[in-house]
Amino acid sequence: MENAQDRNSPRMPRSVLARTLRRVAIMLVAYLAVSNLVVWSSARDWDRSQAEGHEVWRRENCMACHAVFGLGGHMGADLTNVISRRGGPYVEAVVRNGLNKMPAFDLSSQEMEALIEYLARIDALGEYPLKGVRPPAFGRQKEGGLGQQPSPAASNELDREETN
């Protein structure tokens, strides 16, 4: 093993090396094929104007504390449906002033608008956490769309929180 002259050792049948390398190649080629499948099958719609909101989300590392569809940090709330459940003004107030363990962020009006637009786009894609009795195991597509008003229940909770 440690001697370069042993590289072509006659002890090992060439077929073992060939079979080993074939398995490596099969796995890596299969991986690339599945990657292509993932890239092309998951396309929904894309819009360059959303890039700015995504950029703000990434630059401030919101994901460290917040999640989307349950993926991300658990320190803060999952923000998948924050726009429909709480509304854009609520998001802006919390980001500007901070809340509990969340610090305040100094975003420009344009950045704030882009961030809210990005979250509204996420909101329109589906629901998380799923509400109700026995929700569908593979998720639920949202019937509503962008710019929904927060539900009365969410507004009541917001009022309670602000009072506290």
Partner 1 sequence: MSGDPQFEGRVVPTAVRVLAYAAVSAFFLSALMGLTAAIRLGLPADWFVNLPFQRVRPLHTLFAFMGMILGIFALAAGVFRFRDWSLKLQTSLLIGFTALAAILVALGHFSGREYIAWPPYLMPFLMAPLVLLVIELWRVRPQAAERSPEAFWLLFTGVGLLLFGLAETQLYLLPAIGGDPVRDLTVQWHGLDAVFAGINVSLYGAAVFFLEPKAKPLRPLPLFSLAGFSMLFTFGHHHYVSPQPSFLKVLALIASLIAAISFVRHLQIYGKLLARNSEERPAHFFLLRSAEWWTVVAIGSGIVFAIPQLNLYIHGTYLVVMHAMGSMIGINVFIILAGGFAMVGYRENSAANIRLGARLVNYSLAGLWVVLAVPSLYRGFLRLEHDFPVIEEAMRPYLWSFPALGLVLLVGLFLVCFEFLGLCFEESSSAVSPARLQGANLDENVAGEGEKA
Please, which of residues 83-112 interact with partner 1 by CB under 8 A? 85, 100-101, 103
Q: Is 60 in the site for partner 1 (CB under 8 A)?
A: yes
CB 89 within 8 A of CB 98: no
Give the interface segment with partner 1, choosing from 41-49, 88-96, 109-117 (CB under 8 A). 41-49
Supply the DSSP symbol for 99.
Answer: B
Alpha-carbon separation of residue 138 from 38, 42, 79 (angstroms): 18, 16, 19
The residues that bridge with 67 in the sheet, in sequence order, are 72, 78
Give the interface segment with partner 1, choosing from 67-75, 89-97, 106-114 (CB under 8 A). 67-75
Please count the residues of this chain forming the interface with partner 1, following the rule CB under 8 A.
82
- Smallest distance from the beta carbon of 5 to partner 1, in angstroms? 10
Nearer to partner 1, 100 or 108 (CB): 100
- Smallest distance from the beta carbon of 93 to partner 1, in angstroms? 15
* Interface with partner 1 in residues 3-32 (CB under 8 A): 6-9, 11-12, 16-17, 19-21, 23-24, 26-28, 30-32
* Interface with partner 1 in residues 116-155 (CB under 8 A): 121-122, 125-133, 135, 137-141, 154
Q: Following CA atoms 49, 55, 60, 64 in sequence, which dihedral angle do they give, to the nearest 10 degrees? A: 110
- Smallest distance from the beta carbon of 141 to partner 1, in angstroms? 6
Q: Which amino acid is at 106?
A: D
